[in-house]
């Protein structure tokens, strides 16, 4: 059997593919455009593995998607591919609309065309699993209850608006055409292979390079952090047992203000790789201008997936963040590889003030 994964060279997708092939022998066809965020080095361990077929291409390329589906006959499509960084969506929303909305439309349209041609048993077994985010629900105030699956969609950034639009398309394909879809809305992930433009890897990489640690605004914005391997196990669980047409929220029950996260990273680095001058990495923290429209708080109520499918996160934040910091310390070549010219241009534009 075979599954088609899109965006499987990115942070979560590559963790998913690596875990999948460590657990099963089911072939993965991996369609990835290899944008700045997609990195073949993430999949180096699979270089000679015949169970992994990497295809460079766009989810919006209907001909390519149609040919891949016809050739490999997957039993499921898992859509991780997206433009995923809020700050980039503020500077250039166009690619977010293109990939996240138009691309998802082209992909699901090809999936539908493929699905209708299957025999009855294959049609019943087929799944289109769409990987989405808690950011579609907007921002919570301090005492609001966490997001449930019925929370109203109130996306605030071009990124979250584009993900919200894609979620609606996926929902509509189930409602209108009966396509067997599943949607997951997950909180902030962290872990190995995380591109160093997002908060946690940026702090680890900048700290070691002796650079400022840019904290937006007052640093009291709250995110609900989940170790990436737990997200991957949740997706496998939903793929296997999720009810068709349903959405499942995935979260870590782990809300923390950004400044606490940055302090934790600094303290771990102080312990694991102290600065030459024995000063704390906390001295490198620099408060910078806030992100426009910055969502104050996200929090996921993950009771539905636990109740219906028995999934819970396995990693605590303390163990997960320690593993993560250690992974970056052990993999300086990976960090060097992903810090290409385009990465340096992004850092120069976004952090011009620090
Ligand atoms: P990422 O930016 O690290 O990786 C995205 C991958 O998609 C890259 O490999 C990129 O090359 C590929 N891609 C981009 N445009 C493409 C296109 N048009 N066609 C084919 N491939 C394309 O993102 P991530 O953090 O791994 O996120 C994966 C998915 O999970 C996204 O859909 C994101 O919205 C969702 N998500 C992320 C988080 C998080 O904390 N990172 C949380 C919840 C949900
Ligand atoms: P990020 O990792 O970009 O994820 P998201 O915006 O999707 O939640 O950011 C996490 C939080 O950290 C968010 O509140 C913005 C903040 N942040 C900083 O304070 N400094 C930074 O340099 C970055 C990248 C993010």
Q: Is-catalytic flag, 135?
A: yes
Number of domains in the chain: 1
Residues within a 6 A CB radius of ligand 2: 86, 188, 198-199, 202, 214-216, 221, 223, 258, 291
pLDDT at position 334 is 95
* The ligand 2 atom nearest the CA atom of 261: 12
In a domain, 223, yes or no: no
In a domain, 279, yes or no: no
pLDDT at position 285 is 98
Q: Maximum distance among all alpha carbons in the chain? A: 68
- How far does the centroid of ligand 2 lie from the alpha carbon of residue 223, in Å? 9
In a domain, 169, yes or no: yes
Residues within a 6 A CB radius of ligand 1: 6-7, 9-13, 31-35, 37-38, 58-60, 80-84, 99, 103, 131-133, 163, 186, 188-189, 195
Report the length, in residues, of the chain.
354
- How far does the centroid of ligand 1 lie from the alpha carbon of residue 51, in Å? 22
In a domain, 134, yes or no: yes
| Residue ranges of E strands in 161-284 | 181-186, 189-190, 213-216, 222-224, 226-227, 247-250, 255-257
Within 13 Å of residue 107, how many CA atoms lie on the same side as its CB?
32
Residue with tokens 């163990």: 319
Burial class (CB in 10 A: 0-12, 13-18, 19+), 248: buried
Query: Is pLDDT of 344 > 90?
Result: no
In a domain, 129, yes or no: yes
For residue range 203-238, list pLDDT tens digits in order.
Answer: 999 999 999 999 999 999 999 999 999 999 999 999
Phi, psi values for residue 350, rounded to 5°: -70, -35
**CATH code, 168:** 3.40.50.720
pLDDT level of residue 333 (50, 70, 90 thresholds): very high
Give me 10's structure tokens. Answer: 């990115």
pLDDT at position 11 is 98
Task: Look up the domain containing 143 and give its range.
Answer: 2-189+228-253+294-314
Average pLDDT over residues 295-311: 98
Phi, psi values for residue 185, rounded to 5°: -120, 110
Global pTM value:
0.98
For residue range 239-272, list pLDDT tens digits in order.
Answer: 999 999 999 999 999 999 999 999 999 999 999 9
Query: Is pLDDT of 304 > 80?
Result: yes
In a domain, 233, yes or no: yes
* CA atoms of 158 and 2, how far apart (whole Å): 34
Query: Is pLDDT of 6 > 80?
Result: yes
DSSP 258-324: HHHHHHHHHHHHHHHS--TT---GGGGEEEEPPPTT---B--B--HHHHHHH-----S-HHHHHHHH
pLDDT at position 269 is 98
DSSP three-state, residue 172:
helix
Q: Over the chain, what is the mean pLDDT?
A: 97
* The ligand 2 atom nearest the CA atom of 84: 7
* Cβ 53 vs Cβ 350: under 8 Å: no
Query: CA separation (Å) from 125 to 88, 118, 138?
Result: 37, 10, 34
For residue range 37-76, list pLDDT tens digits in order.
Answer: 999 999 999 999 999 999 999 999 999 999 999 999 999 9
* CA atoms of 30 and 210, how far apart (whole Å): 37
Query: Is pLDDT of 345 > 90?
Result: no
Question: In this structure, how many other beta carbons lie within 10 angstroms of the beta carbon of residue 117?
Answer: 11
């Amino acid at each position: 059997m075979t599954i088609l994964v899109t965006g499987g060279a990115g942070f979560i997708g590559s963790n998913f593919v690596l875990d999948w092939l460590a657990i099963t022998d089911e072939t993965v066809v991996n369609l990835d455009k290899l944008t700045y965020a997609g990195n073949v080095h993430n999949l180096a361990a699979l270089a000679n593995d015949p169970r992994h077929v990497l295809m460079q291409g766009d989810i919006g390329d209907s001909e390519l998607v149609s040919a891949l589906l016809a050739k490999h006959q997957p039993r499921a499509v898992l859509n991780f591919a997206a433009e995923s960084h809020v700050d980039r969506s503020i500077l250039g929303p166009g690619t977010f609309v293109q990939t996240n909305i138009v691309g998802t439309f082209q992909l699901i349209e090809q999936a539908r065309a493929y699905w209708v041609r299957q025999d009855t048993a294959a049609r019943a077994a087929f799944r289109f699993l769409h990987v989405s985010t808690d950011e579609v629900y907007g921002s919570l105030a301090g005492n609001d209850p966490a997001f449930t699956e019925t929370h109203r969609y109130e996306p605030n950034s071009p990124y979250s608006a584009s993900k919200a639009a894609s979620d609606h398309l996926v929902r509509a394909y189930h409602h209108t055409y009966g396509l067997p879809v599943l949607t997951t809305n997950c909180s902030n992930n962290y872990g190995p292979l995380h591109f160093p433009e997002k908060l946690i890897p940026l702090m680890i990489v900048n700290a070691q390079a002796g650079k400022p640690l840019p904290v937006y605004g007052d640093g009291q914005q709250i995110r609900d952090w989940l170790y990436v391997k737990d997200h991957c196990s949740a997706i496998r669980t939903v793929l296997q047992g999720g009810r068709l047409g349903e959405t499942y929220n995935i979260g870590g029950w782990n809300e923390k203000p950004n400044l606490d996260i940055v302090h934790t990273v600094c303290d771990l680095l102080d312990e694991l790789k102290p600065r030459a001058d024995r000063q704390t990495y906390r001295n490198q923290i620099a408060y910078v201008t806030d992100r426009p429209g910055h969502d104050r708080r996200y929090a996921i109520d993950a009771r539905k997936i636990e109740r219906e499918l028995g999934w819970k996160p396995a990693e605590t934040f303390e163990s997960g963040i320690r593993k993560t910091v250690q992974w970056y310390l052990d993999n300086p070549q990976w960090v060097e590889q992903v810090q290409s010219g385009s990465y340096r241009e992004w850092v120069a534009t976004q952090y011009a003030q620090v």
